[in-house]
Structure 1
């Protein structure tokens, strides 16, 4: 094999393989050529303060704690929709004279605006996260989130409550973009799919747990008790953030050429040198890159890293990082992954926006009974974690082995075929089940399957784009979350008119067709995604996307 040379040029690596030059990201050796052992990417430093060197138990604790925080971020976003009737009656006491359609439509703004600003708020948070680190934003956002929960609990006027819900959405949105970045900071490439699946599941579990808990609350107590319970839960998580969430951002000085760290079958790390011709295709773990001229000191260990501020982590301007998601949306892999997240999460928004009235009309269910149907969502998420996480990692590793240890981001994509089947099926079951008043288990299975699809398919597409553009993973996540929120905001308003005009079976059948049409695009990306990524690096739009060298993380 010819010598592999790697240089840095505007954040993209120029890799010369067998005489042919190609710009690429995410193209690296993940398995040792001789031993077939997993190569740790990024290469961990010898610094015990490096987050990649944290104890395994603390990494897992951090991942679980972050995901629990994510559950609570969505607990108040959509969960209280189960109490929309009681909320409308409270804010519009003359509802008996005016009817309920107007008050319910106005009350829906509480929840739709929260969902919208959860995504749009990320455009504010992500530049700050990249510039000043993760911990300051965790502390700030969850402090504001706790305050807004108290604010909502005591707000008596419509406008006051609406403003509180909007600010709540901005604060809660920080968790959505912080979680996947934190996971990418502390876990290696070969572990990322499984752990990120927990994050995607937590997005759904927040809505599902909110629906279940809130349904029981409004059965026995006034609707404001939803916020009293949330204050206790969110306050508890905020204390965890204050006391146990250290900074995970780390300025990494990459290993010299020919130095790799592998993971043996017994879990031992082995750091050794290899000849350049044996290294094959190198990731940053096998490439010498100049040390970053950073304005941040070496990251303290996880126990000592609880200081609020550690310095700046990039020289990029806040404005540059704010507008970058606009350019990213034009890149085909990012656009497709954004549509995957939008149609899957957007259509569960369509379901939750009228689930109470749908089950009430079709089956005579009360709010708490409709909420219990979301137990299926929890079951769906559990299976989605396995098939979206461990299974997708297994699929990617299978194709990596077949490719002589070389990993491409597209090797993960075949795992999404499961979600491409269950997504349309879920929407068809829900729509037809409600329309023809089949047994209540039919639409309930639909709820479970769509939540499975969100966890499974969204995880595959999200990790695919993070692997493809790892240095700007934060902006990648924000692009998808912001568009998803805008799409969900529109669906929140137009689902009921859509259903009223065409019926549940036709409306959700059309949603099923859209969902399947988007997900099936995994096939062309699997075969031609690498070439698409190479071609797009020369597009003029890349001037919006290019990043400074100090954003490189070793992939």
Structure 2
């Protein structure tokens, strides 16, 4: 008995016996596999006759089954499957990635001393280039070697900048450092999405973003004191030392997360068609979990985890990733997510470029060392985002799925998008007026609107990630690099024109334009929400590999 045709080199699964799993208190089938490279069989056995959600659009999945959450993607019986990592290990990986993102974010954006424009503008360009290089390579050789390699280059780049003896050398070191930093924007969220299930994805991405935001703000607050006490070269020296520590931590505790799965695993169900029998759907849930098969699979070990490379490189995957990026950019819903990310980042670049000048000038007269404390608002925004859009987003998805009889739609992730769109639009209006007429407005207007826009920025990024990854789970890598690379390149372009834009229009008119653009682009999300399922149906032939496992019984 077989499902769809597939190359004969791929492994074959079969039901071997029925085993008892005391952890979930249920009898579940154990599956064999001829190869140890592929996963994808789910565990809970469901009687046939129920319609598969794949008869609908890609991304539409059954999230509840008999009051239990379905594990999506479906984990395999392989102990080395990253989805089978213990929860404490997943938390440790998320925290490590978040700390690494702190360092790359600050290292790529720092430019206080010396005050040279190229040290601020070009890092954003090279971060975008870093994304375009690192992610396709990660698809070919694995996530772990690219992540560790980037961490190593970050350490070397920091040392380079700290020991530079000329401006040209300093700029070159910053550009190399920023190129390595770029991988964290897309690769870290990809790793997080590959080790967590759909029903917890938003919360874990929110924690990652919050750790990055809070750590970045704290370090930026301390930067003026560090520079004044030790000089700007030791700023790089400190980061070189810390990057070395992160490299060791990542080497020991961040395993390879690439794991090949069949298309059915991303639906949370494997469809079994037996000749002469009714069809069945196999599912794994929080009540009927995975029985790890230690007969056919090797157990997870520290020696396997610390290996740099896992399996041979697939360079065809590099080319495929680039092609899929172009394909995904043509999807109307993904194009809108890219526009939303680019718009909110562009507005943030304007505010982050101008707030210090406004607050340090009369009548506010902020001291240079006091400007860093404005970043405390970003810490507050990151803390708020975790329960509101992290856990709140996952909760909303589960509740709406319950109302549909257990079926979840990716467009559920877009409902909270209304909040950041409204907040960013209002922030633009007030920031512009306070910048033009500081004598009529409190400095708190600048601080609050700047912090609120940052909340909008990280919220749009979070919601855009979760919606895109839920819609097209088999295109996670290309979509993430597409979003991050495009917004990085746009940020680079905007950074050159901010001063002229403000000079020609003034703060009020310039930020009014930003508010209008944000409102218009945000409103385009309405047809994406309404017609999202039809869009996914129309694009799924480019977003689904239709890779299956032959199942015999």
- TM-score, length-scaled by structure 1: 0.81
| Secondary structure of the structure 1 residue equivalent to 2:283 | strand
Cα gap change, 1:209 to 1:495, in 2 (>3 Å): farther
The question of 1:234 aligning with 2:243 is answered yes
Cα gap change, 1:137 to 1:394, in 2 (>3 Å): same
Give the conservation status (yes or no) of the 8 Å contact 2:158–2:177. yes
Unaligned runs of 5+ in 1: 11-15, 89-106, 273-296
Unaligned runs of 5+ in 2: 8-48, 273-280, 292-296
1:184 aligned residue (193, 198, 202): 193
| Secondary structure of the structure 1 residue equivalent to 2:284 | strand
| Secondary structure of the structure 2 residue equivalent to 1:316 | helix
CA shift, 1:492, in A, is 1.1
Task: State the alpha-carbon separation in 2 of the partners of residues 19 and 299 from structure 1.
Answer: 33
Q: Give 2:62's aligned residue.
A: 29
Task: State the alpha-carbon separation in 2 of the partners of residues 17 and 550 from structure 1.
Answer: 20
CA shift, 1:204, in A, is 3.9
Task: State the alpha-carbon separation in 1 of the partners of residues 502 and 130 from structure 2.
Answer: 30
Q: Give 1:443's aligned residue.
A: 446
| Secondary structure of the structure 1 residue equivalent to 2:285 | strand
Cα gap change, 1:500 to 1:349, in 2 (>3 Å): same
The total of aligned residue pairs comes to 485
Higher relative contact order by CA 8 Å / sep ≥ 6: 1 or 2? 2
Cα gap change, 1:212 to 1:9, in 2 (>3 Å): farther
Q: Give 2:497's aligned residue.
A: 494
Q: After superposition, what is the alpha-carbon deviation per residue over 1:44-87, rounded to whole angstroms, capped at 9, x for unaligned?
A: 22222221111111111111111111111101122x23x1xx41
The question of 1:139 aligning with 2:148 is answered yes
Give the conservation status (yes or no) of the 8 Å contact 1:431–1:504. yes
Q: Give 2:285's aligned residue.
A: 262
CA shift, 1:270, in A, is 4.1
Cα gap change, 1:19 to 1:321, in 2 (>3 Å): closer
CA shift, 1:313, in A, is 6.8
The question of 1:130 aligning with 2:133 is answered no
Q: 1:85-484 residue pairs with structure 2 within 5 A?
A: 86-88=113-115, 107-202=116-211, 204-205=213-214, 207-252=216-261, 257=272, 258-264=281-287, 269-270=288-289, 300-301=300-301, 304-312=304-312, 316-362=316-362, 363-437=364-438, 438-484=441-487
Task: State the alpha-carbon separation in 1 of the partners of residues 330 and 165 from structure 2.
Answer: 44
Cα gap change, 1:6 to 1:484, in 2 (>3 Å): farther
Q: Give 2:13's aligned residue.
A: none
CA shift, 1:466, in A, is 0.8
Cα gap change, 1:299 to 1:170, in 2 (>3 Å): farther
Q: After superposition, what is the alpha-carbon deviation per residue over 1:499-537, rounded to whole angstroms, capped at 9, x for unaligned?
A: 111112221222122223222333222211111121234
Cα gap change, 1:9 to 1:213, in 2 (>3 Å): farther
488-497 vs 153-162, which moves further: 153-162
The question of 1:517 aligning with 2:520 is answered yes
Task: State the alpha-carbon separation in 2 of the partners of residues 461 and 208 from structure 1.
Answer: 23
Cα gap change, 1:384 to 1:516, in 2 (>3 Å): farther
Q: After superposition, what is the alpha-carbon deviation per residue over 1:418-441, rounded to whole angstroms, capped at 9, x for unaligned?
A: 111111122233222222212221
| Secondary structure of the structure 1 residue equivalent to 2:531 | helix
Cα gap change, 1:316 to 1:114, in 2 (>3 Å): same
Cα gap change, 1:219 to 1:502, in 2 (>3 Å): farther
Give the conservation status (yes or no) of the 8 Å contact 2:321–2:477. no
CA shift, 1:302, in A, is 5.9
RMSD (CA atoms): 2.8
1:76 aligned residue (103, 107, 110): 107
Task: State the alpha-carbon separation in 2 of the partners of residues 331 and 298 from structure 1.
Answer: 40
Q: After superposition, what is the alpha-carbon deviation per residue over 1:91-115, rounded to whole angstroms, capped at 9, x for unaligned?
A: xxxxxxxxxxxxxxxx222222111
CA shift, 1:229, in A, is 2.3
Q: Give 2:278's aligned residue.
A: none
Q: Give 2:41's aligned residue.
A: none
- TM-score, length-scaled by structure 2: 0.81
